[in-house]
Amino acid sequence: MDLRAALTTHRLVAIVRGDNPAAALRTVLTLAAEGIELIEVSLTGKDALGVIEQARQALGPDRPLGAGTVLTADDARAAHRAGADFAVTPALGEGVGAARELGMPVLAGVLTPTEIVTARGLGAAALKIFPAAEAGGPAYLKALRGPFPHEPFVPVGGVDEAAARGYLAAGAVAVGVGSPLIGDAADGGSVSELRARARAFRAVVAEFAQ
């Protein structure tokens, strides 16, 4: 898949992490039904690989599905076997290179200018600024875009609706959203409330449609 193009088009990555595999799978399928095209399942969730495998079967071969928190080469290989077609990392570990060798585009975690340059050299498709809120929010993104005006930045960490607007206005190609979107749905919480949050975030990113 062309991850950079997908990020530019859809502007939102939903991050699913939960302790209830059945609820996590239900969350993925609900988000997909609500029109959220880019979904990652964090490998830190319970039976995350099983969730990815079942989600892939339910969604079919053409719907983008990512694995998050890919740290090691083994993580990348396991995610690929389960059916993930893109990888998301919190940092520039060995998972980046392993995912690239498997043909999986990578949204690679960076924070500093040095890491941005390193990620570019590793072939990352896009750059996940993490943790974005703690780094300085939209103002930090704006500062990074001075020396790196064309890099596809995706802030992640503490991104609520207001922050999403701020990052997109500051030039982010997309935003990654976990708990402000997912809430407790992946642990068995309300599906109707998840649907409402999904619609609210879709409305926010629609303001910045390209």
* Strand, coil or helix: 139: helix
Give, for 154, the enclosing helix (H) or strand (E). strand 153-155
Q: Minimal CA–CA distance to 58: which of 91, 25, 81, 82?
A: 25
Active site residue 40: yes
* Strand, coil or helix: 130: coil
Q: Which of 37, 128, 161, 207 is catalytic?
A: 128
Q: Which of 34, 40, 94, 101 is catalytic?
A: 40
Instruction: Report CA-CA distances (Å) from 149 to 89, 114, 115, 133, 205.
Output: 22, 15, 15, 20, 21
Task: Give the amino acid at 205.
Answer: V
Active site residue 142: no
d(CA 94, CA 161): 33
Catalytic residues, by residue number, are: 40, 128
